[in-house]
Amino acid sequence: MTRLDALHAVYDRLQDRIVVTIMGAVAAELQSIGHRPNFFYLQHAMGLASSMGLGIALSRPGRQVIVFDGDGSILMNLGGLTTLARYRPRNLVHVIFDNESLLSVVTHAAQARTALAGE
């Protein structure tokens, strides 16, 4: 399944949720399906989508927050994962797309191959 296929599969479920995307390809693909006012496309802040999503989730506990992130972005802010683990907001879902590259900046292979979700 491609990232675009995955976004298509969940798109209808995003209508009443706050959605944060990392810059670049994820944001462009989600926008290509259709923009909604509850979508926030984080620009010029690679690695910080999880941090932004956490802040929103903690400040809006009655709302479901979905973060669409990339593996290259996660590698830019590994400390953010420990902060997510510390607070564990039940209203936050963090989706990480693993294409083993930093595609949004330039097409470079990510320097680590890591099983982020128990492969």
DSSP state of 96: E
Residue 101 tokens, joined: 């590259």
Q: Which class would CATH give 3-97?
A: alpha beta
Contact 22, 70 (CB under 8 A): yes
Mean pLDDT by 10 residues, the chain (119 residues): 94 97 90 96 89 98 96 89 96 90 56 54
What residues contact residue 60 under an 8 Å CB cut-off, 6+ apart? Answer: 18, 91
Say what the pLDDT of residue 66 is.
Answer: 98
Closest-CA residue to 3 (of 29, 22, 21): 29
CA distances from 112 to 28, 52, 95, 96, 101 (A): 25, 24, 18, 15, 9
Say what the pLDDT of residue 95 is.
Answer: 96
Distance CA 12, CA 14 (A): 6
Say what the pLDDT of residue 72 is.
Answer: 84
